[in-house]
Amino acid sequence: MPHETQSQSSSSASSDGEDQMLATFRKSIDNIDAAIIHMLAERFRITQAVGEYKAKVTLPPADPEREKRQIERLRALSEAADLDPEFSEKFLRFIIDEVIRHHEKARSK
């Protein structure tokens, strides 16, 4: 068995010693990470506009009912995507908290 693993490992390594399968996986991860960053940037551009609007019309920075609905929605999407809903909720909560902080900042301008 160890011989099979070694043989499989060496067959995926290029002549320069780089494991091509691992390099392919990592390239995909890097592309996904870049997409996540760009999507987060776009999301924050939109939520910044929301914060400015809320400040202009004197709405509160936070909307607990919407947050609750969003978390429920994201948990359902996570389950459908076979992603841990607890992780997704923590991730969304982190984003929501940051958005609220930005909205509070916009309100104090």
Q: Copy the structure tokens of residue 36.
A: 């996540």
Confidence of residue 107 (pLDDT cuts 50, 70, 90): confident
pLDDT value, residue 23: 96
1-44 confidence digits (pLDDT tens)? 445 444 444 456 666 678 999 999 999 999 999 999 999 999 99
For 22-34, give the DSSP string.
HHHHHHHHHHHHH
Contact 71, 87 (CB under 8 A): no
45-97 confidence digits (pLDDT tens)? 999 999 999 999 999 999 999 999 999 999 999 999 999 999 999 999 999 99
The model scores a pTM over 0.85: no
- 79: Cβ contacts below 8 Å, ≥ 6 apart: 85
Rounded to an integer, what distance in angstroms lies between the CA atom of residue 38 and that of residue 48?
15
